[in-house]
């Protein structure tokens, strides 16, 4: 349980673990340098139940907190639960029974609910038959294009997490999607069971551990580039060349990077990004028009005109 300034919800999250019908668990709360009363709340529970442990670390982000917890965990299986979410009371019992019937590369997962700040139900989310068919047909592509398997939906195997290098500590966003994508690349299979696993608390807050960016390490502008370049390398390493199904996404990425470069008057990088974009997918439609006018009038000039038009429309 990674925790950063979650004092408003931490007790409810811990109580959902204490209420589990399966009792042979340990709860590792990793406090990520909280400045509120989260540590004090956690310490109270540590004093009450010997299965609960508090690990303190300097503020380092959700990935490092989860990795810290994995490394300290004594169990064979790992269940992730954020400090503002609520685990269903039979979740551990049911998923433990499920995983013990599966092969060593298979991971059980289920559905989840959404609640608000006051723990009132917003909605339930169930995986559709169409999505599950996509997952079965191509788990790598599914985990690349889909984020819906939230980190608390599965029961993970500690060994599998260690084999792929745990969470990528340089990714302050897309953490669980990246983890599941790398698990699929390594041969993991996600096995769906129609059970309700937990309730995800949906709200906006700068203090949410999964929403915060590591100061001085990465910013929002660079995040997409880090994510796409990493996945580009992983996919090419896996298949030898980029499979067709992923090409439109990488063409879009490099096209966007080209336009950003031209907007900065960086023609050299802009042209290189355009070349990579066209390598993944030949230009059609508006992209063809953009490149045609760019060749005639200059890409830097075209980009300046387009952005000027957008600013004008926004003001209007």
C-alpha gyration radius of the chain: 22
Residue 210 lies in a domain: no
Please check whether residue 50 lies inside any domain of the structure.
yes
Three-class secondary structure of residue 75 per DSSP? coil
Examine the fold and report which residue of 169, 201, 233 is the final residue of a domain before the chain moves on. Answer: 201
Same domain, 29 and 167: yes
Tokens 């929002």 found at = 220
- State the total domains in the chain: 2
**Are 154 and 280 in the same domain?**
no
Same domain, 185 and 232: no
Range of the domain at 66: 2-201
In-domain check, residue 197: yes
Sorted by sequence, the CB contacts under 8 Å of residue 16 that are 6+ apart come out as: 81, 85, 86, 87, 88, 89, 198
What is the reported pLDDT for 213? 45
Q: Which CATH number fits the domain that encloses residue 107?
A: 3.90.550.10
Residue 216 pLDDT > 50, yes or no?
no
Please indicate, yes or no, whether residues 186 and 37 belong to a single structural domain of this protein.
yes
Is residue 206 domain-resident?
Answer: no
pLDDT in tens, 110-155: 999 999 999 999 999 999 999 999 999 999 999 999 999 999 999 9
Helix %, strand %, coil % for the chain, to 5?
Answer: 50, 15, 35
* Residue 216 in domain: no
**pLDDT category, 219, cuts 50, 70, 90?**
low
* Per-residue pLDDT tens digits for 63-98: 999 999 999 999 999 999 999 999 999 999 999 999
Q: Say if residue 76 is in the same domain as residue 156.
A: yes
């Amino acid at each position: 349980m990674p925790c950063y300034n979650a004092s408003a919800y931490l007790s409810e999250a811990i109580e959902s673990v204490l209420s589990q019908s399966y009792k042979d668990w340990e709860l590792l709360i990793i406090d990520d340098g909280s400045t509120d009363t989260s540590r004090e709340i956690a310490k109270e529970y540590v004093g009450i139940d010997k299965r609960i442990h508090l690990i303190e670390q300097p503020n380092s982000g959700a990935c490092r907190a989860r990795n810290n917890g994995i490394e300290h965990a004594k169990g064979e299986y790992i269940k992730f639960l954020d400090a503002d979410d609520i685990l269903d009371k039979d979740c551990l019992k049911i998923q433990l029974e499920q995983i013990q019937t599966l092969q060593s590369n298979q991971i059980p997962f289920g559905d989840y609910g959404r609640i608000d700040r006051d723990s009132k139900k917003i909605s339930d989310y169930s995986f559709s038959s169409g999505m599950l068919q996509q997952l079965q047909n191509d788990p790598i592509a599914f985990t690349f294009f889909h984020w819906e398997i939230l980190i608390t939906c599965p029961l993970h195997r500690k060994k599998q997490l260690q084999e792929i290098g745990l969470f990528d500590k340089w990714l302050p966003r897309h953490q669980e999607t990246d983890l599941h994508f790398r698990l699929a690349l390594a041969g993991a299979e996600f096995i769906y069971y129609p059970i309700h696993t937990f309730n995800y608390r949906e709200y906006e807050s700068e203090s949410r551990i999964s929403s915060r960016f590591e100061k001085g390490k990465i910013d929002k502008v660079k995040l997409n580039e880090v994510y796409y370049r990493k996945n580009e390398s992983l996919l090419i390493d896996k298949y030898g060349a980029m499979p067709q199904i992923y090409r439109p996404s990488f063409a879009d990425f490099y096209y966007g990077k080209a336009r950003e470069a031209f907007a900065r008057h960086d023609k050299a990088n802009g042209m290189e990004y355009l070349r990579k974009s066209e390598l993944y997918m030949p230009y059609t439609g508006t992209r063809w028009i953009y490149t045609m006018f760019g060749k005639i009038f200059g890409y830097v000039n075209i980009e300046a005109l387009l952005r000027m038009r957008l600013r004008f429309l926004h003001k209007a």
